[in-house]
Structure 1
Amino acid sequence: MSSKSDRRSIRTKKELKDNLIALLSTGRIIESISVKELADLADISRSTFYLHYSDIYDLLDDIENDFFDEFRSVFDGFHPEELTESPLPRIDGMLAFAAKNSRLVLSLADNQIDMSFSRKIKNIAHGICFDSWSQLYPVSDRTKYEYFFSFIFSGCIDLILTWLRGGIKESRQYMSDLLETFIMDGASVLRS
């Protein structure tokens, strides 16, 4: 495949992804979106769509995979010791990521398109955070960590969604400080 074909393929996939996200962000449910409609919006033929994806759900999977790869990269190079000083840089990175992807985040969260979406986010965050907290605050009761993580994770996700739904009016700095306070104050339960 030539580099021109590669660029065209990348551009077509991006156009399809952007159009699907745009449709979902209007409140449309995935089941109501046809390949024909999406192909028309992207100004391509249905056969071109099928060169890249088997169906709309395959396209949605590709969008989600891109999302999760980028979400994981927010935590690249993360070390648990950072939490003792301040989780602020990671929180700010997470908020920047959420703001950048707000249409997709809100579409997937508000439309409940894929219940596994929130589970995937939780699993990624769990893998990063749970091990970090248990290294910093060693206790014999692993159940306490699970409760703490569930509480903090749910609160963080709802707080971020509320911020996005409100039009991102408060600064990332304000939201980062708020989240950091909630997390660090909540962590006191692990010290007892």
Structure 2
Amino acid sequence: MPQTDFKCDRRSLRSQQALLDALVQQLGEGEDLSRVTVASLTERAGLTRRTFYTHYKDIPDFVEQVEAALLADIGELTARIGAATLEDLYRNIGELAPAPGSVELLSYLRDRRALIGSLLGPGGDPAFIKKLIDLARGVVADRMQTGIFPGALGSFFDYYLSYVVSAEVGVIQRWFENGLRESPETMARIMTVIAFVRPGDLYGKPIDINVPAYGMKLLNLQLDTEEN
């Protein structure tokens, strides 16, 4: 269970674990997160409402604390992936090896499949997905801009970054939808290379685009439009 900083004695931790287990069970049974109540949660957990309010203000506060603990762990694991250079990634792809840190991240997600799967699922928390995307953007943005051609920055890079990060999170969602049938090692290899795949590559017809030159043309077109 993600640990909070509020109550650290064994009884409190058991109570928080019981509440978390009850939340996972409710969501796993198809209950929508927006319909989860303190009464239903504590009844399932075998706790009193007073115990719940000892740790949390309400259901949104409970969910926020659970997600914050998860995101803190995921942020640390993602940082190692974000630190990898293109040379690192190219070398690993050539050796059929995953990106540094990717197996550890996916193993963490798999080991918490019940909780994370519930949050990512149809009855979960859409805001959690947005938080994951924002977290990943923050981790990789600076590294991805290192050495990049200046003309490719601006709106072009912003949308490219959103495209890549959202796609990777979408792959993780799909992995959960498929029941985590691939191992973290296999998924790490897939996700290491998938961002470099262009549609034409799948059909043996790769498209050779000079992205920096295209970015400059796009920027000039935008400036001309604004001037006119």
CA 1:49–1:79: 2 relative to 1, 3 Å: closer
Determine the structure 2 residue equivalent to 1:35. 38
Per-residue Cα deviation, 1:20-61 (whole angstroms, up to 9, x for no partner): 122112220123322222112222211111111122221111
Contact kept? 2:81, 2:102, Cα under 8 Å: no
Moved more, 80-89 or 35-44: 80-89
Alignment partners' CA distance in 2, 1:122 and 1:138? 24
Alignment partners' CA distance in 2, 1:189 and 1:177? 26
Determine the structure 1 residue equivalent to 2:163. 151
Alignment partners' CA distance in 2, 1:161 and 1:5? 32
CA 1:111–1:79: 2 relative to 1, 3 Å: closer
Which has the larger helix fraction? 1
Superposition CA RMSD, Å: 2.6
Runs of 4+ in 1 over 6 A off after TM superposition: none
Determine the structure 2 residue equivalent to 1:128. 139
Gaps of 5+ in 1: none
AA in 1 matched with 2:32: I
Contact kept? 1:144, 1:190, Cα under 8 Å: no
Partner residue of 2:184 out of 172, 185, 188: 172
Moved more, 120-129 or 31-40: 31-40
Question: Normalising by the residue count of structure 2, what TM-score does the alignment of the two structures yield?
Answer: 0.72
* Percent identical residues: 24
Contact kept? 1:39, 1:45, Cα under 8 Å: yes
Point out which structure has higher relative CO (alpha carbons under 8 A, 6+ apart).
Answer: 1
AA in 2 matched with 1:147: Y
Partner residue of 1:48 out of 22, 47, 51: 51
Aligned length: 188
Q: For residue 145 of structure 1, give the secondary structure of its aligned residue in structure 2.
A: helix
Counting only pairs closer than 5 Å after superposition, residues 37-116 of structure 1 correspond to structure 2 as 37-76=40-79, 80-86=83-89, 88-111=99-122, 113-116=124-127
Alignment partners' CA distance in 2, 1:5 and 1:131? 36
AA in 1 matched with 2:77: V
Alignment partners' CA distance in 1, 2:148 and 2:107? 28
Contact kept? 2:152, 2:211, Cα under 8 Å: no
Per-residue Cα deviation, 1:42-81 (whole angstroms, up to 9, x for no partner): 2221111111112222111111111111111213556635
Per-residue Cα deviation, 1:95-148 (whole angstroms, up to 9, x for no partner): 222212222233222236433222211111111111111014343322232222
Alignment partners' CA distance in 2, 1:19 and 1:75? 28
